[in-house]
Structure formats: C-alpha cells, structure tokens
C-alpha cells in the first residue's frame, strides 16, 4: 500500500514539473529564462514548481489589467498647453522627438527650466523649501522613504503643509517601505498626512509581490515645480554622511509645464494604489526656461518597453557621442545592438559604472557581458569612490534623459519607472562636463582585463548572468 502511495506521489510530482515547465515554455519571452525554468521544474519538480509560482510566473499582464487606471479619475489638464513640435528640436534629433511622442502621446513642452542637484545636500533643502512654500497641492511618490533624520524632516514639512490646508498625498512602494523602521507611512499617518502603499505584499489574502514595484521618484508642488531622478528620501544620499553606506546621486528640479506631466504620472500611480484623485487639474504653468521636455512613463502593461525603444532609437540617431552613467548595467539585446552599431559608425559611446556596487551579484553579471561591447569599440569605465546611483543618458550635445530607471531587466521590464527627456544644449552641456570629468578620473576597462579574469571569477560571473532577467 505504501508503495502505491509513493508511486502516486512520484507521479503527481512529475506531472507538476511538466505542467510548470510547459507554462514557462509557453509564456517566457526570453529563451534563457524559459530554458532555466524548464530545467529547474523538471529536475526538482515540486520545489521547482513552488519557486516558479513565487518568482517565475509573469503576472505582469494580468496584474497590470487589474491595476489599470481609470482615465476619468486622472486630472490631465489641457494637453496642448506648452506644446512643442518636432520642428522645434534641432536637426536630426527631431526624429527622436517624433519617436518618443508617438509612444507617450504627451506633448513636448516648451520653456522649462531644469536645475541639477548633486546629492542630498543640494536636493533635499530645495525640495523642503518648495514644500514649505506650497499653497494648494503636494504630490510625492518614492520607492524608499527612510524614517531617519532626513526622512523625519520631510515628515515634519509635509505635516506642516497639511496643517495649513495644503492638499497633500504621499505614495510609498509596498516593498520599499520595509527598508526603514519605524515605517515612514505610519509616521505620516499619525501626523495626519494621507499616505498610501503601492502593491504591498500581504499574507491575508496571500499576495507575494516581489515584482511590479513602483520605482518612480516624483515630487510636484502646486503643479508648477517638479522633482524627478533616482534619489530616494533618506540619509543614504548625503555625500557627507560620516558613516554607513553612502549613495551618490543627482536629482533634478523642473519648473514649467512639464511639472503637470509629472503630476499626471503621479496620479496614475495614486489611482492604481486605490487613492482618490482630485476632480480637476491645477492650471498648467507656462514657464520661462530654455528646455523642451517630456515625461516618459514605463512599466508593465501598456507602457512596457517604451524606454527600451526610446533609448535604442536615441543611440541609433547619435552622430557625435553617447554618454551613459548608470549604477546597474544589464541592457536588453536591442540596446546592446544599437550601442555597438553606433560605435562602429564612429560615435564615441561611453558607459560609466560604479567600481563599488551595493549589489555585487549585479556587478558580476555585468562583467560577464561586457566583452560584447568592448569587442566592438564601446568604452566602459569604472568610477572610483563611493557607490554612485546616478542615472544619466546623453546623446550628442542636446538630448538628455534622466529619471528613475536603471539599464537592467528589472527596471525596463518589471518596475514602474519614469524618465524625463530634455532637449537643451545648456543643460546637456553641464551634464556632459560632469560625465567627462568623472570619466577622466575613472579606470577604463579593457577586453584583455575581462577575458583575463581567473576561472573561478568567470564561473561566478557567468552564473550570476544566467539569472540576469530577475536581478
């Protein structure tokens, strides 16, 4: 009798393995991911099936449908205000403006002023000053909101704004909030600040959500001023922090009509998180700066692959230079091909990465794929010093894209991300100078160095690279 039960259990385990492997085969777009999950599910059927259910099933489409925004609830404003046409963009970059405009369907706004804020020492005081001066509405979204000294300064400022009658909303990612204790959301609610979580993991009902994170960082004040970039809220972004892990970063302040697009993106996420949106938008501010700008949203569902398409398109029209500064670099095949093609056309393509990474396994996986770029003339540099979290993408002397997205599968496939594209030679020139100064003090990586790694390191790096679709 016992033998019969063993046979039944073995048969069910085998069937479970084949069902989960079949699901992976039919639903995985990346052949490496499909092969990997099929092997795991067939070799260790029960454990493999459990792991596949928790980490492998692509819930992106179904969840994105359930989380689809209700357009009637999102204040959008008059889309034609501040509109810029591709003809306003110089030369060959007009093609890029048409590409991003076709994908995003939001206008390229004119007369924006864009400020560069290095590290928390420059960004946080400016953000807090604008919060203190708010008169009507504050919309704040972040992946991590620490409850340390910096976080509590923001909590105090937001609570004070609520007390004087400002309409305040704060959105924190449901996984990112666990980076700090006590949780900032609870502290905000105790002070009377409306705060919500984006897709939090729960046990009852069971909802284990490691993917589909809201990685966007948005602050909009009175619909006139907005902040975006890669900087979370916390002491971790203070360059002068005496101890602990520091993350250098650059944040950006936008004054002008593009702030309305930043707030539109915020309210889409606020609606997804179950929040109530205002009935009417604030008036779009005309602005007086030199930059033409547009917000690009990327994420599961309708927005998927937008940034990959725009980034690849931007590299394909480059004539002089492509400068990339990013903390994590595992680009999709389309972008690798565009970068190699640009380098072979004589474009100076440089990728600047941190030599010290806060995620060693991502660093290992990157090392395993660098040969493909180095072989064809793409230059790669490791910058010294503290971990650098900055994300900047520059084409020629006029186009810059900044925002929250890293150049890796998690950002470009699984997370909700936000970027702002800026056409302005003055703004681009400042960031080009910063990138070139960083490149000049960085160490260039050669193909000989990558190929000459010891065998144990090569094996480790290749193993990490196998899991790159999930890093």
Q: pLDDT tens, 421-471?
A: 999 999 999 999 999 999 999 999 999 999 999 999 999 999 999 888 766
Flag whether pLDDT at 1 surpasses 70.
no
Flag whether pLDDT at 13 surpasses 80.
no
Residue 118 confidence (pLDDT): 98
Which residue's structure tokens are 């892990």?
245
Confidence class for position 236, pLDDT limits 50, 70, 90: very high
Dump pLDDT digits (tens) for 372-413. Answer: 999 999 999 999 999 999 999 999 999 999 999 999 988 998
Q: Whole-angstrom Cα distance, residue 1 to residue 215? A: 54
Overall average pLDDT of the 85-90 stretch: 63
Residue 62 confidence (pLDDT): 41
Residue 327 confidence (pLDDT): 97
Flag whether pLDDT at 7 surpasses 60.
yes
Overall average pLDDT of the 79-100 stretch: 71
Dump pLDDT digits (tens) for 314-342. Answer: 999 999 999 999 999 999 999 999 999 99
Residue 60 confidence (pLDDT): 42
Confidence class for position 271, pLDDT limits 50, 70, 90: very high
Is the Cβ–Cβ distance between 329 and 355 less than 8 Å? no
Flag whether pLDDT at 54 surpasses 80.
no
Is the Cβ–Cβ distance between 158 and 193 less than 8 Å? yes
Residue 280 confidence (pLDDT): 77
What torsion, rounded to 10 degrees, do the Cα atoms 120, 125, 126, 128 define?
A: 110
Residue 50 confidence (pLDDT): 76
Residue 57 confidence (pLDDT): 66
Flag whether pLDDT at 82 surpasses 50.
no
Q: Whole-angstrom Cα distance, residue 239 to residue 378? A: 30
188 C-beta neighbours (distance < 10 Å), count: 25
Q: Whole-angstrom Cα distance, residue 375 to residue 306? A: 28
Mean pLDDT of the chain: 88
Flag whether pLDDT at 344 surpasses 70.
yes
Largest CA distance in the chain: 84
| Secondary structure of the chain in HEC code, one letter for each residue | CHHHHHHHHHHHHHHHHHHHHHHHHHHCCCHHHHHHHHHHHHHCHHHHHHHHHHHHCCCHHHHHHHCCCCHHHCCCCCCCCCEECHHHCCHHHHHHHHHHHHHHCCCEEEEEEEEEEEHHHHHHHHHHHHHHCCCCEEEEEECCECCCHHHHHHHHHHHHHHHCCCEEEEEEECCHHHHCCCCHHHHHHHCCCCEEEECCCECCCCECCCCCCECCCEEEECCCEEEEECCCECHHHCCCCCCCCCEECEEEEEECCHHHHHHHHHHHHHHHCCCCCCCCCCCCCCCCCCEEEEEEEECCHHHCCHHHHHHHHHHHHCCCEEEEECCCECCCHHHHHHHHHHHHCCCEEEEEEECCCCCHHHHHHHHHHHHHHHCCCCEEEEECCCEECCCEEEECCCEEEEECCCECHHHHHHCEEEEEEEECHHHHHHHHHHHHHHHHCCEEECHHHHHCCCHHHHHHHHHHHHCHHHC
Flag whether pLDDT at 64 surpasses 60.
no
What torsion, rounded to 10 degrees, do the Cα atoms 197, 114, 117, 415 define?
A: 30
């Amino acid at each position: 009798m016992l033998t019969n039960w063993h046979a039944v259990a073995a048969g069910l385990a085998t069937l479970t393995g084949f069902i989960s492997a079949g699901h992976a085969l039919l639903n995985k777009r990346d052949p490496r991911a499909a092969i990997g999950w099929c092997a795991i599910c067939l070799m260790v059927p029960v454990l493999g099936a459990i792991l596949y259910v928790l980490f492998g099933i692509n819930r992106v489409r179904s969840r994105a449908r359930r989380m689809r925004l209700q357009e009637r609830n999102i204040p959008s404003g008059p889309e034609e205000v501040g509109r810029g046409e591709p003809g306003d963009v110089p030369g060959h970059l007009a093609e890029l403006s048409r590409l991003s405009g076709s994908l995003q369907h939001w206008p390229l706004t004119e007369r924006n002023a864009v400020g560069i804020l290095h590290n928390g020492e420059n960004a946080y005081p400016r953000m807090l000053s604008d919060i203190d001066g708010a008169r009507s509405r504050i919309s704040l979204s972040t992946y991590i909101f620490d409850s340390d000294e910096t976080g509590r300064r923001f909590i105090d400022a937001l609570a004070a704004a609520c007390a004087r009658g400002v309409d305040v909303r704060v959105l924190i990612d449901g996984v990112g909030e666990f980076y700090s204790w006590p949780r900032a959301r609870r502290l905000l609610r105790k002070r009377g600040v409306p705060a919500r979580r984006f897709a939090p993991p729960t046990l009852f009902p069971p909802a284990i959500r490691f993917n589909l994170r809201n990685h966007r960082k948005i602050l909009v004040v009175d619909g006139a001023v907005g902040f975006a970039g890669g900087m979370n809220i916390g002491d971790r972004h203070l360059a002068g922090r005496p101890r602990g892990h520091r993350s250098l970063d650059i944040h950006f302040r936008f004054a002008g009509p593009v702030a309305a697009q930043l707030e539109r993106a915020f309210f889409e996420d606020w609606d997804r998180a179950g929040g109530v949106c205002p009935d009417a938008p604030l008036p779009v501010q005309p602005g007086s700066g030199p930059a033409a700008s547009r917000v690009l949203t990327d994420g599961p569902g309708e927005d998927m692959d937008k940034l990959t398409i725009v980034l690849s398109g931007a590299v394909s029209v480059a004539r002089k230079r492509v400068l990339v500064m990013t903390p994590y670099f595992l680009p999709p095949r389309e972008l690798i091909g565009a970068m190699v093609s640009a380098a072979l056309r004589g474009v100076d393509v440089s990728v600047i990465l941190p030599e010290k990474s806060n995620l060693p396994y991502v660093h290992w996986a990157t090392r395993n794929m660098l040969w493909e770029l180095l072989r064809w003339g793409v230059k790669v540099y490791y910058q010294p010093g503290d971990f650098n979290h900055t994300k900047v993408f520059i084409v020629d002397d006029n186009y810059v894209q900044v925002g929250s997205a890293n150049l890796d599968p998690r950002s470009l496939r699984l997370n909700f991300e936000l970027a702002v594209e800026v056409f302005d030679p003055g703004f681009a020139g400042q960031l080009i100078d910063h990138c070139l100064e960083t490149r000049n003090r960085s160490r260039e990586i050669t193909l000989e160095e990558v190929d000459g790694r010891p065998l144990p390191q090569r094996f480790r790096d290749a193993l990490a690279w196998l899991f790159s679709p999930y890093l």
